Amino acid sequence: MSPVLTTASVPDRDKVAYWNDAVSRTLVPVTVTPRGDGPFEGRITTDRLGHLRVSTVEADAGRTSRTPTLIAGSSGSSGSSGAPVAVGVQVSGTAVFVQDGRRAELGAGDLVVYDTARPYSFDHPRRFALHVFQFPRHALGVSDHDLRQVTGRAVGTGDGFGATLFPFLVDLASSPADGHPPAVANWLAGHVVDLFATLITERARPEGTDADARSRLMMRVLDHINRNLGDPDLSPERIAREHRISVRYLHRLFEGEGTTVGRLVKQRRLEECGRELARPGGTAPTVAAVAQRWGFVSPAHFSRAFRAAYGVSPREWRGRHTGRDGLVRSPVSGG
């Protein structure tokens, strides 16, 4: 069951102090200042889903502030790298959010991305409900530059990507996390953070939704792949990191190409190996040397992949093209 902290049974004179402590311990250290004169009422529940912390805040009108002093006191030796990134989803009521000199007006159904390593404030003029998703910044996989482009901007969920994201997040926040086995919880948390990374990338680079800009990005990715085929560590994660996009966004780029990133890398490596093995003249390198030069770590894996792609072994391929296979030719091979 999700832990619940509420002011319901706290004496009126202690409610504000209790609430400040409850929110600061559950989320990050903040100062909450009520707007009204009457007894303050608030309720916060929190749960963990892998590395994702999911909380729901319901409270009376007030201002919640994260100041430089609070940040300095809570970051310790870890600095900004230890402060989580958060996404706030306004469920009911309204809010004015301020960070990085930008002011976002949030209504029910809107969301906002913010960085707890930098000062911010939420101002709720009346009672409200807010879902808060917190996660480590290293799990996000986007640059600090892109993150700063998005913080303090309201993201509407009436249409587009936000329309898909909003009901999913609300349902996730309303479901008990202990209903998922640990492996499933970690997998689900990773996919949620990937969705946030996609949202941040698209908002930080609005030109990425333009066909010409997507085409230019695709050309840069393809060029990067071609120039780094010999690197055995070339992977979707590394390619995405080099281009400051999320892995999910990279896969979306390839959706219309009829292949995946991993298959393309493998195909291009096999093409270069086939070209080199078929090159006449000079001293021929070993099959293993060719495979290693183009990023294949295991000669056995290379041979299997080559045969699956071309129908013959690398040695047979070389023999057909250069006459240097050292093997007995098959009458049906055409050699």
Quick: pLDDT tens for 306-332: 999 999 999 998 888 776 544 333 323
Sheet holding 85-92, edge to edge: 4-6, 42-49, 52-59, 128-135, 85-92, 111-115, 154-155
Of 207, 169, 218, the residue nearest 189 (C-alpha): 169
* Boundary (domain end) residue, out of 174, 204, 234: 204
Instruction: Tell me: do 100 and 238 sit in the same domain.
Output: no
Mean pLDDT estimate for the chain: 85
Residue 131 to residue 111: CA distance in whole angstroms: 9
Residue 304 neighbours by CB distance under 10 Å = 12
* Boundary (domain end) residue, out of 187, 204, 221: 204
Instruction: Tell me: do 257 and 301 sit in the same domain.
Output: yes
The pair phi, psi for residue 51, each rounded to 5°, is -90, 10
Residue 82: CATH number of its domain = 2.60.120.10
Does the pTM surpass 0.85? The reply is: no
The residue count of the chain comes to 335
Which residues span the domain enclosing 267? Answer: 207-335
Quick: pLDDT tens for 103-162: 999 999 999 999 999 999 999 999 999 999 999 988 887 888 889 989 988 988 766 667
pLDDT for the residue 223: 86
What is the SS3 assignment for 297? Answer: coil
Instruction: Tell me: do 290 and 226 sit in the same domain.
Output: yes
DSSP structure class, residue 56: E
Instruction: Tell me: do 70 and 85 sit in the same domain.
Output: yes
Q: What residues in the chain have per-residue pLDDT under 50?
A: 76-79, 208-210, 325-335
DSSP structure class, residue 11: -
Instruction: Tell me: do 268 and 192 sit in the same domain.
Output: no
